[in-house]
Structure 1
Amino acid sequence: MISPKLVRSCCSVLLLSLAGCVTPAGGVSLRPDGTPGPEACPEEARKAMNYLRMFVGEATLVQVDANQSASPITLYDGPIESMLEDNLGLLDAPSRLYGRVWTSGSQAVIRYYEAQPMNGGNKIPVCAVARLGLGQLRKRPDSQPGTAVLDHTHAGVFIVDSFR
């Protein structure tokens, strides 16, 4: 018979060894610095983007957080709602983009997984990222853990075929 103490010890070692493999909701693996690792763009999203003429490299500006319009803005780890400032393919502004923010690195990382047209209809699967561009996503030094304080309310958003 195995002692309960041995079982607890083995479980503790197993949990500690898995700590680097923890994935947040949505199944994205994290790098050692807490930023998201590679992630494939689902086939459903690729088909929807093709239909909407949203090709890899297409870009426009977004209001990073549709709920904050004055600088500076504070982003938190977790879900985000952004707003298109201009059309993206056949998706008209001011459609919304829904995604996730990671704040662990020197800049915020934002990945978008869904778009909501403002003229009605269902959410559309997409694969898009907000990019640093002219420093829009660089965190201010006064950012607390789990947050990213940004000087800019806008950023470029780009269609991608996978997340890197």
Structure 2
Amino acid sequence: MASHKYMLVGWAVLVGVPLACATPPRKPGDVGLHADGVPMFEPCPEKALEIMRYLQLFVGEAAWIQLDANQSSAQSITLHDGPIESVLEEDIGTLEAPLRLYGRVWTGGEQPVIRYYEAQFLKGRDRIPICAVARLGFGQLRKRPESKPGTAILNSPRAGFYIVDAFR
């Protein structure tokens, strides 16, 4: 009887160890950083890719956004590392403006990296997963020299919102 008890305990340990060592799933935006503070590659979740296909959001499509919903009237804005809420100004795919966009900002490099993971219609529907980034050409999203660590002071409250299939 005692050997049977030890066998059950041993089996429980063998089965439980892989479960205890398994890493929990990462949340979007939970990525490693390069030495300069810029986030590393991050794949777009399969569910987001599926929803974007359904909504006719194709890689490379773009629209204008207000980068920070709380600073939309400002001439220059200050972004901080962490979550961001932006506003879509133009329709894209089957998404109609205005629309809330939720993502994350990293300010470690010469210009902030802004990745969007969710969108929400203003009429109270659920958030939907997406993969998009904020961009401006010709270095226009570059932070101003007086930006302190953990912040990015930008000359414009607007940027381009681009659909992507992975964050590079």
Alpha-carbon separation, structure 2, partners of 1:114 and 1:25? 10
Task: Give, as a single letter, the amino acid of the residue that structure 2 aligns with 1:108.
Answer: P
Matched, 1:51 2:51: no
| DSSP-derived class of the 1:44 partner | helix
Quick check: 1:133–1:155 contact (8 Å CA) kept in 2? Answer: no
Percent identical among aligned pairs is 63
Instruction: Render the CA deviation track for 1:26-59: whole Å, top value 9, x for unaligned.
Output: 4211111110000000000001111110011110
| DSSP-derived class of the 1:45 partner | helix
Quick check: 2:67–2:86 contact (8 Å CA) kept in 1? Answer: yes
* Partner residue in 2 for 1:122: 126
- Give the direction of change, closer, same or farther, for the CA distance of 1:147–1:112 in structure 2 (3 Å limit): same
Higher Cα Rg: structure 1 or 2? Answer: 2
CA-atom RMSD, angstroms? 1.6
Quick check: 1:136–1:154 contact (8 Å CA) kept in 2? Answer: no
* Partner residue in 1 for 2:33: 30
Alpha-carbon separation, structure 2, partners of 1:91 and 1:160? 15
Give the Å deviation of 1:25. 8.0
| DSSP-derived class of the 1:144 partner | coil
Q: TM-score, normalised by structure 1?
A: 0.82
Q: TM-score, normalised by structure 2?
A: 0.80
Matched, 1:65 2:62: no
Task: Give, as a single letter, the amino acid of the residue that structure 2 aligns with 1:118.
Answer: L
Q: How many residues are matched? A: 142
Matched, 1:140 2:144: yes
Alpha-carbon separation, structure 2, partners of 1:25 and 1:60? 22
Alpha-carbon separation, structure 2, partners of 1:58 and 1:152? 21
Alpha-carbon separation, structure 1, partners of 2:98 and 2:139? 23
Instruction: Render the CA deviation track for 1:100-155: whole Å, top value 9, x for unaligned.
Output: 00001110110000000123311000000001324342100010010000000100
Q: Mark the runs of 5 or more structure 1 residues left unpaired by the alignment.
A: 1-22
